[in-house]
Amino acid sequence: MIVEERLVTYMNSLDRGHTPFLEELEASARKDKVPIIRREMQSFLKTMLALVQPSHILEVGTAVGFSALLMAQYGPENCRITTIENYEKRISAARENFRRAGMEDRITLLPGDAADILKTLDGPFDFIFMDAAKGQYIHFLPEILRLMPVGGVLLSDNVLQDGDLVESHFAVERRNRTIYKRMRSYLKTLKQHPQLSTSILPLGDGVTVSVKVREEETV
């Protein structure tokens, strides 16, 4: 945990919660050890939706649909969400949750590998939430940028890897070194990319907020 646990617990205690369906879905996901966004990230996501007021959202990494449903619930009423998931068991669970929540008309789930699906999308998406395989973020970025209009926002979750990114390469377990290298590369790219303005926040397991400030220059 990046931020002291007592402080996080206090901040989360102030949260007014969600709809009963979302509360039930969150409890069920945590019981089944399905990864969903942390409470402090949920609150931040709701605030970002209120600020950006997106009309078209792209989510990379559906899991059981909790984040997509939260965005549908707390985003603008006319907002449409496209979400991508590659794990078959979670695809069926997410679709059932969308049906139970009555959100099937607002959320479109695209099953398959995001690396392939992103290339088929036209966009634009004025809000993109990245919460998929962390080692793939850097590979998804070129297509993500293509799909964003100027002024569009990219929110990337779990970017600080419980603080491991500040450690020496040799202090990281061998099995985690590929993700370590790729995430450090991703953060450097976000911070130095000429089309983006990015902040890295020590929220949850780390989050970046990137705004597309210009289109790619053509020669």
Is residue 133 over pLDDT 90?
Answer: no
Residues 6 or more apart from 16 whose CB is under 8 A from it? none
pLDDT band at 205 (very low <50, low <70, confident <90, very high): confident
Thinking of the domain 5-212, which architecture would CATH place it in?
3-Layer(aba) Sandwich (3.40)
For residues 112-118, average pLDDT: 96
Q: What is the pLDDT of residue 208?
A: 96
User: pLDDT tens-digit profile of 185-204?
Assistant: 999 999 999 999 999 998 88
pLDDT band at 9 (very low <50, low <70, confident <90, very high): confident
Q: What is the pLDDT of residue 79?
A: 96
User: pLDDT tens-digit profile of 59-81?
Assistant: 999 999 999 999 999 999 999 99
